[in-house]
Each structure stands twice: as structure tokens, then as C-alpha cells.
Structure 1
Amino acid sequence: MGTFALAVILLIITPGPGVLTTAGFGAAYGFKPSLKYVLGLFIGTNLVLLAVITGVAAVVLSVPWLRTLLLIASIGYLLYLAARIAFAGSKIAFMEAKQPPGVFGGVALQAINPKAYVVNTSLISGFSYAPDNLTFEIITKVIIMNAIWIPIHLAWLWAGTVLHELNLSHAAQRAINIGMALAMLAVVGLAAWTATT
């Protein structure tokens, strides 16, 4: 179980769309306004987890055209979120985001987040520690994953919020937002490259 918990920490803490948008929205809007989005991510990641456990994810992703459609939707939505972060509070932006996406935005991201499926599939199908009692293993894995997921995402939100609360100049805040958005774009590029290789 210890090896599994360590794997959860390492897989969840690494930058992906969920943690990057969490930190980005924390930096752009602050802690409390971004909590609804994090709640949506939490609901979404557990829906993905349920889809992985029940095999629905494997069936859906085994259809090539549907997998491609989901990848395109994922990339499009991640680009949209990157723009929301980059242009939050920017008067020169083509879109000025007054507030972060709410619960639905978080759920939607996780539903099309390639990392969510990869991480959940790896953790559920690997790291077996109770092969004689699969029900116990899956239930404890879900509990451990959620017990680690929550503080990690709140820590990323807090880290972004610290930047928000520094009362940086408008130009510095915009530079941070753009940096967060560029990190998101790097994740988008990596997801697209991985899917085509």
C-alpha cells in the first residue's frame, strides 16, 4: 500500500492540466473564487475513476474516431483554459475573464483530460497489494487516491493564490498568467505529440 500511495503522490503532483489550471486560476483570481473549479475537478476525476474501474473508459477509448474526437476536444478546451488564464484581468486581451470556470468547468476538464485517464488506469490496474480481495483493493485505492488528491490540489491552488496576494504590478501578474498559460500549452503539445506517436 505504501508503494501505491507514493505512486499516487508522484503521478498527481506532477504538472498536468488539472494542477496547472488550479494554480493558474489561483494566481489569476485567488483561493476562494477558484474553489468551485477545484470541486469540479474533484468530481470529474472521480467520474473518470469510475469509468476506468467499470471499463467504460476502455470501451470508449477503443473506438479510434471517438478517441480522436476526444483528443481534439481536449486540446481545444485546454487551449481555451490557457487563454482564460493568460488574459485574466488583462485589458488588452481579446477576452477578459472576470472569474474562473465553476464546477462544470472542472468536471468538463477532467472528462476530456488525457492525464486523468492515464493516471487512473495506471493506478487501478497496477500496484496490486490485495490480489485475493479485489473489492477491498479497489475501495482502498479510491480512498487513498482521494485522500492524496485533495491536499495536493489545494496546495497548488494555495501556491497560485500566494502569487495573487503578492499585489504584484499589473504587468508582473500578466506575465505570471502568461507563464501559466504557456505551461498549459506545453502540456497540450505533449498530449498531442504522445497521441500521434
Structure 2
Amino acid sequence: MLTFALAVLFLIITPGPGVLTTAGFGAAYGFRPSLKYVLGLFLGTNLVMLAVMTGLAAVLLSVPWLRTLLMIASVGYLIYLAGRIAFAGSKVSFIAATTAPGVLGGIMLQAINPKAYAVNTSLITGFNYAPDNLLFELITKALIINTIWIPLHLGWLWAGVALHRLDLAPGTQRIINVLMALSMLGVAALALWSTLQEQR
């Protein structure tokens, strides 16, 4: 179980779309407005975990056109979220983003987030520590994942909020927002490249 917990820690703490958007929205909008989005990520993560546990994810992702569609949707949504972060607080009305996405935004990201499926699949199907009691193993894995997931994401949100509270000059805050948005675009590009490599 300890090995599994360490694997959860290292897989979740690494920057992916959920972590980057959590920190980005924390920096752009503050704690309370971003908390609903983190709740959505939490619900979405658990829905993905349930899909992996029941085998639904494996069935869906075995269909090549559906996997490609999910990847395109994921990259498109990441670009949209990156724009929300980059233009947070902008005075230009057609690109202004005055509020962080809510619960539905978080659920949507996890539903199409390739890292969420990859992490959950490796954690749920690997690290077998109770082969004679699958139900016990699945329940305890879900509890361990959530016990680590919640404080890690709240920590990333707090890190973003800490930047927000520094009350930086608007130009400096804009640079930070744009850098976070570019990091998300980098993750999206890596995910797309990885998918294209798999299809060769």
C-alpha cells in the first residue's frame, strides 16, 4: 500500500492540465472563485476512476476514432482554458474573462483529460496489493487516491492564490498569467504529440 501511495503522490503532483489550471485560476481569480472549479476536477477525477474500475474507459478508448476525438476535444478545451487564464482581468471586452470556470468546467476537463485516464489506469490496474480481495483493493485505492489528491490540488490552488495576493503590478500579473497559459499549451502539445506517435 505504501508503494501505491508513493506512486499516487508522484503521478498526481507532476504538472498536468488539472494542476496547471488549478494554480492558474488561483493566480488569476483567487481562492473562493476557483474552489468550485477544483470541486469539478475532483468529481471528474472520480468519474474517470470509476470508468477505469468498471472497464468502461478501456472499451471507449479502444475505439480509435473516439480516442482521437477525445484528444482533439481535450486540446481544444485546454486552449480555451489557457485563454481564460491568459486574459484574466483583461480590459478588452471581447477577451475579458472575469470569473473562473465552475464545477462543470472542472468535470469537463477531467472527462477529456488524457492524463486523468493514463494516471487512473496505471494506478487501478497496477500496484496489486490485495489480489484475493479485489473489492477491498479498489475501495482502498480510491480512498488513498482521494486522500492524496485533495490536499495536493488545494496546495496548488493556494500557490496560485499566493501569487494573486502579492498584489503584483498589472503587467507582472499578466506575464504570470500568460506563462501559466503557455505551460498549459505545452502540456496540450505534448499530449497531442504523444497520441500521434502512438498512432504510427
Count residues in correspondence.
197
Task: Give the aligned partner of residue 31 of structure 2.
Answer: 31
Runs of at least 4 residues off by over 6 Å = none
Structure 1, unpaired ranges of 5+: none
Task: Give the aligned partner of residue 68 of structure 2.
Answer: 68
| Paired letter, 2:118 | V
- TM superposition score normalised by structure 2: 0.97
Partner Cα distance (2:92, 2:98) in 1: 14
Alpha-carbon shift at residue 128 of structure 1 (Å):
0.8
| Paired letter, 1:88 | A
Alpha-carbon shift at residue 91 of structure 1 (Å):
2.1
Alpha-carbon shift at residue 132 of structure 1 (Å):
1.1
Residues 1:194 and 2:194 aligned together: yes
Partner Cα distance (1:135, 1:45) in 2: 19
- Map 1:42-191 to 2 at 5 A: 42-92=42-92, 94-191=94-191
Question: 1:87·1:93 contact (CA, 8 Å) conserved in 2?
Answer: no
Question: 1:44·1:111 contact (CA, 8 Å) conserved in 2?
Answer: yes
| Paired letter, 1:137 | E
Question: 1:4·1:123 contact (CA, 8 Å) conserved in 2?
Answer: yes
Structure 2, unpaired ranges of 5+: none
| Range moving further from structure 2, 170-179 or 90-99 | 90-99
Partner Cα distance (1:75, 1:16) in 2: 12
Alpha-carbon shift at residue 90 of structure 1 (Å):
1.8
Give the match's secondary structure for 1:35. Answer: helix
Question: 1:5·1:144 contact (CA, 8 Å) conserved in 2?
Answer: yes
Partner Cα distance (2:86, 2:93) in 1: 9
Partner Cα distance (2:181, 2:93) in 1: 13
Alpha-carbon shift at residue 93 of structure 1 (Å):
7.3
Q: 1:29 to 1:115 in 2, by over 3 A?
A: same
Partner Cα distance (2:165, 2:93) in 1: 22
Task: Give the aligned partner of residue 3 of structure 2.
Answer: 3
Question: 1:40·1:105 contact (CA, 8 Å) conserved in 2?
Answer: yes
Give the match's secondary structure for 2:37. Answer: helix
Report the identity percentage: 73
Task: Give the aligned partner of residue 21 of structure 2.
Answer: 21
Give the match's secondary structure for 1:57. Answer: helix
Question: 1:88·1:96 contact (CA, 8 Å) conserved in 2?
Answer: yes
Alpha-carbon shift at residue 147 of structure 1 (Å):
0.3
Partner Cα distance (1:97, 1:142) in 2: 35
Give the match's secondary structure for 1:89. Answer: coil
